[in-house]
A = this chain, B = another copy of it.
Amino acid sequence: MFSYNSKTKYFMKQEHNQYVEKLVEMVKDVRICMLITKEKNAENLSGRPMSINKIDDDGTMWFFTKASTYKVEEIETSKNVSIAIANESSQNYLMIHGTATLVNDKSKMKELWSSIMKAWFPLGLDDPDMTLIKVVPNEVEYWDSSSSKMVVLFNLLKAIVTGKEYAEGEHGKINM
């Protein structure tokens, strides 16, 4: 029983790693996405273009932001965010649903900082109004141009809820 479970988990992990690699591959050259949050009334969506500062090998995405913004308030109220990527030149179209956290870690900011950020933060890393948004993807859908369909790359929440393998999601959801 235990060995079956750990074997299943092993394959899930292996498959998940492949999907995350594909996510990183699709996102790493994308400069701008739309970061979509829920307004504080939780009914309406709110979106704005954001520069993706970095995507880690495990799919975690990082954004710099001013702390005194509506989106930060919205993330404090509801941590569920979506990231829409529509890159016509590379033909990469993705919807990434994830969990956002505000990270006030100066050493992490230093690690992610580049001089381009000075346009936003002329005070540099000393800016007291600076914070990071960290988004950990739960579900990723992407446009598969060979099948002309939107397909689920992975869905961690469903795997957790249903106990089924992530691969079940592939081609599980097809649009147009």
Q: Which A residues contact B (CB, under 8 angstroms)?
A: 31-34, 36, 44-50, 65-66, 69-71, 82, 84-89, 93, 95, 97, 120, 139, 141, 143, 150, 173-176
Contacts and interface: CB of A to CB of B under 8 A. Distances in A.
Contacts of A143: 48-49
Contact of A95 (B32, B45, B66, B176): B45
Nearest to A51: B176
B69 A32 contact: no
| Number of identical protomers | 2
A139 B39 CA distance: 13
28 contacts: A31-B88, A32-B86, A32-B93, A34-B34, A34-B86, A34-B93, A45-B45, A45-B95, A46-B95, A46-B141, A46-B173, A47-B82, A47-B141, A47-B150, A48-B95, A48-B176, A49-B143, A50-B176, A65-B176, A69-B176, A70-B173, A70-B174, A70-B175, A71-B175, A71-B176, A87-B88, A89-B89, A120-B176
